[in-house]
Every structure is written in structure tokens, then in C-alpha cells.
Amino acid sequence: RLRQQNRLNLGSGGCSEPRFPGRKRDFSPVPWSQYFESMEDVEVENETGKDISFSGSEGPVLLLLHGGGHSALSWAVFTAAIISRVQCRIVALDLRSHGETKVKNPEDLSAETMAKDVGNVVEAMYGDLPPPIMLIGHSMGGAIAVHTASSNLVPSLLGLCMIDVVEGTAMDALNSMQNFLRGRPKTFKSLENAIEWSVKSGQIRNLESARVSMVGQVRQCEGITSPEGSKSIVEGIIEEEEEDEEGSESISKRKKEDDMETKKDHPYTWRIELAKTEKYWDGWFRGLSNLFLSCPIPKLLLLAGVDRLDKDLTIGQMQGKFQMQVLPQCGHAVHEDAPDKVAEAVATFLIRHRFAEPIGGFQCVFPGC
């Protein structure tokens, strides 16, 4: 689904809500319509649709690809920040199996398939004459952006930006990824509870962004969308138990009932089980640095720390093959933690290469690296 930005109702694009003594922080969800102008389903190759958000009406298209487990909503506050700085259009895409996108084969999350998805969405939206497009991707989305660019799937591509994804660091982190995923809560009592966890755990350090983006990461557990639905399931289990010849509950039936009670108390869970995508992780990131360096277009790399650079990118950066900027004091979700800083870096990149015009008196600050 596509989303666009409403300039009349922008978020601040800044940091987390300030803490004041005695003031309770607001973890209630915020609707996407405060940040995007519209949301649409785009049908691609007879699939049920790609969920995409739009903003802006002039200038190059910034096609935004989110990280694993996230959705287009992770770009909400960044969208507000970037369109106040340069003349551009925003297209934020829910990748397959993420957000509200529906596909026939949700299990296929290979880099090749997802890159083709991006190319197909561009073709479905713009036909044979797409406008100038810059691909911007975070984490897994950054890897997919590079695979899309290197396969020439976007004919009007003018620039490429990766946010906090480096082959060496990513490959090293894969071994501990399952432990990280197991350490997350499996369910949440409410959307507010999920938002609060995301901020307090440090997954998203910006409360404003968490309030809009976490809605795209979690969903209601199946079978409890209505009180009637959950009642019928529980009663069905009880009726089966009464027919049990042994006159006692079997372990499997007790487990079903316990699971149902858990779902009633914790009705929200993750939209995608990232642990089940492990077989694709290597394909997303292996060879990524050389693919990025070989793309014959202007490139930007935004990192949360310079320690994330691997050997190939360090050499490439010294040779001036891409522009790099380090944004310290951010977590992995750089564009959510510091949307203003990321917007400034992207806007400066666009203006430097004369891809877009500044608006609102925006002044470029060219980084030293």
C-alpha cells in the first residue's frame, strides 16, 4: 500500500516527547493520515496488492523500503521532515509479507523476489515513463534497494541510499539474530503496550515515530477479532473435552485453551515471524558491499556508527565512490530515531546532485565525509 504526506498536518519530525516531572508519556497510536496524503493498494501481477503510501506532487520520487518486520509507516516522521526541505514525492511501500501487503506466496522473501516486487510496483504505478526515482532503504530494505538497483529494475533510477546496513556487520550479526528475536515479547495487551515496549526497549528511540510505526508491526491475534468469535472457539474446545473418553483434559486440549486465554489477555502479536525468514538472510546481505559500490549512480550511506564499515566500503569511501554520513546517538532505526538529521542528509544529497530544489529556506550543510 502506498502512502502520501499531508503538509497541513505534519508531525514535528523531531526527537521523543520530552519528559517532565509528573507528566505521563502518551503511548497511544497516531493515524497514518497525519503524515501521508493517501494510502492505496497497487495490484501487481494478479497479486492482491502492495500497500503503498504517498506524499507530495512535484519533484523526484523517493521510493522508501523499510527494514525487516517494519512497514511503510516507519517512514512517517521522516516523510514530514523531508518534504518540508526539498521538492519531492514520497512513495513508501509495504514489502511482501509486511504491513498490509498481501501476496500469493508470502513465504518467498528472497532478495531476487523482493527486488522484482519493487520493479513491478514502479511499472504498475508509472508504466513505461516513470519519473526520476531515488531508492532509499533501511536495513533489509537497504539491501533490497541495492539488489533492485544492480538488477536495473528501475529504469529511471537517479540515486541510491542505504541506511545502517553494511554487509560485514550484517553477516556478523546473523548468528545472534535468533536470540534477539526470542528475547522480544511474543504478544502485547494493546497497541499502547506495544508502543511503550518499543520505546522503553530502545527499538525505536523516538516516541513520535513509535506511535505511528508500531501499528504496522503488530496485528490482532487470529480468532479473537470479535467477542463472539473467541467465545465460539473456547466453547468448541470445552465441548470436545466433554466427549473425552478418559474424562480428563488431554494435554493438547489444555494447550489450546491456555493459548486462547493468552490471546484474550494479549490480543496483539507480530505481523511477521522474522525467525522463519532465516533462510533468506544470507542472500539479502552477502556480496552487498560490492553490489552497492558497482551501482553506477550517486550513492549515499547513512550509519549510526563508523564502526559498522567493512573493508570494501572503507576502501570505497576513501576512493570517493559514495557519500557517507555518520549519525551518532541513534539506534539501528536511524530514520525513526533522528528523522530530521536523516532528512537533512538526504535533502543535501538531492540538492548537491541537482536532483531536487530546496523549499522553505532550507540551507544545505555539506558533511565532511
Tens of pLDDT along 302-312? 999 877 788 88
Q: What is the reported pLDDT for 58?
A: 86
Strands 61-65 and 89-93: parallel
Region 264-288 average pLDDT: 89
Provide, rounded to the nearest whole percent, the portion of the chain with pLDDT above 70: 79
Tens of pLDDT along 47-58? 656 667 777 778
- Rounded to whole angstroms, the Cα distance separating 312 from 298 reads 17
Region 326-336 average pLDDT: 92
Beta bridge partners of 191: none
Residue appearing with cell numbers 541495492: 146
Region 19-44 average pLDDT: 83
Alpha helices in the chain (DSSP H): 76-82, 111-126, 140-150, 167-182, 191-200, 207-213, 227-242, 251-265, 278-285, 288-294, 311-318, 334-337, 339-352
365: its cell numbers: 550543510
Region 82-93 average pLDDT: 95
Region 93-114 average pLDDT: 92
Q: What is the reported pLDDT for 24?
A: 80
Among residues 221, 269, 203, the alpha carbon closest in space to that of 67 is found at: 203
- For residue 263, pLDDT over 70 is answered with no
Q: What is the reported pLDDT for 12?
A: 32
**3 state SS for 279-323:** HHHHHHHCCHHHHHHHCCCCEEEEECCHHHCCHHHHHHHHCCCCE
- Rounded to whole angstroms, the Cα distance separating 144 from 195 reads 27
Top pLDDT among 228 and 38 is at 38
Domains of the chain, start order: 34-222+265-358 (3.40.50.1820)
> HSE-up of 314 (CA within 13 Å, CB side)?
8
Q: Are 93 and 118 in contact (CB under 8 A)?
A: yes
Q: What is the reported pLDDT for 174?
A: 83
Cα distances from 3 to residues 20, 56, 335, in angstroms, run: 34, 10, 17
Among residues 310, 300, 230, the alpha carbon closest in space to that of 262 is found at: 230
- Rounded to whole angstroms, the Cα distance separating 198 from 143 reads 24
Region 26-45 average pLDDT: 91
The mean predicted confidence, pLDDT, of the chain is 82
Band (pLDDT 50/70/90 cuts) for residue 368 is very low
- Rounded to whole angstroms, the Cα distance separating 316 from 329 reads 25
Provide, rounded to the nearest whole percent, the portion of the chain with pLDDT above 90: 60
Q: What is the reported pLDDT for 298?
A: 97
- For residue 232, pLDDT over 80 is answered with no
Q: What is the pTM of this model?
A: 0.82
Catalytically active residues are 139, 164, 332
- For residue 16, pLDDT over 50 is answered with no
Q: What is the reported pLDDT for 179?
A: 87
b/e for 281-308, b at 16 or more Cβ within 10 A?
Answer: beebbebbbebbbebeebbbbbbbeeeb
Range from 89-103, 131-145, 234-248 carrying the lowest mean pLDDT:
234-248
Q: What is the reported pLDDT for 264?
A: 60
45: alpha, beta or left? (left if phi > 0; alpha if psi -120 to 50): left
Q: What is the reported pLDDT for 46?
A: 62
- For residue 114, pLDDT over 90 is answered with yes
Tens of pLDDT along 134-151? 999 999 999 999 999 999
Region 143-169 average pLDDT: 95
- For residue 262, pLDDT over 70 is answered with no
- For residue 243, pLDDT over 50 is answered with no
Top pLDDT among 57 and 199 is at 199
Among residues 324, 325, 343, the alpha carbon closest in space to that of 335 is found at: 343
